[in-house]
Amino acid sequence: MKKYNLTIEGKKYAVEVDVNDNIANVKVNDKSYTVEIEKEKEPQIAKVAKPTPKPAAAPAQKPAAPASAASASAIKAPLPGNVVKILVSAGQAVKRGDTLLVMEAMKMENNIMAEKDGTVKAVYVEVGRTVALGDALVEIE
């Protein structure tokens, strides 16, 4: 039983409350009351028919070179994600540490950098492309 000292409109009340399920035994200034507590009705959940999804037209994308087809000099995706920026093109000279492209994975942008000095032989992806772990991104010779 919980005890409370309440002041309502300047009057003081000593209140004791004991609740079991939906019945409360309330004692106010040594006078006892039995109070029934109405349980809230659980909201009705309406069933809604799921709309049948229409297959989305896939944007035309050139396929990324499969990891097995790319040479050892290819820079591969270190994690799955989306290509958001491409900063190099075929024939461009790059130095080790230059950013080649930017991928977004788990809402973070990741710079994909050149691992060595060389010339970009091929770019296997384009902006908006989703790549898997190990997909070839850029080849440097």
Answer yes or no: is 124 within a domain: yes
Name residue 76's amino acid.
K
Answer yes or no: is 62 within a domain: no
How many separate domains does the chain show?
Answer: 2
Strand 31-36 to 23-28 pairing: antiparallel
Which pLDDT tens digit goes with each residue over 21-73? 788 888 888 898 888 877 777 676 766 666 767 666 555 545 545 544 456 77
Please give the residue range of the domain that contains residue 103.
Answer: 74-140
At 8 the pLDDT is 84
Answer yes or no: is 65 within a domain: no
Beta-strand runs (E) in 21-132 = 23-28, 31-36, 74-76, 81-86, 93-94, 99-105, 108-113, 118-123, 130-131
Rounded Cα gap, residues 89 and 94, in angstroms: 10
Rounded Cα gap, residues 110 and 120, in angstroms: 20
Q: What is the pLDDT confidence band of residue 99, given thresholds at 50, 70 and 90?
A: very high
Answer yes or no: is 123 within a domain: yes
Answer yes or no: is 44 within a domain: no
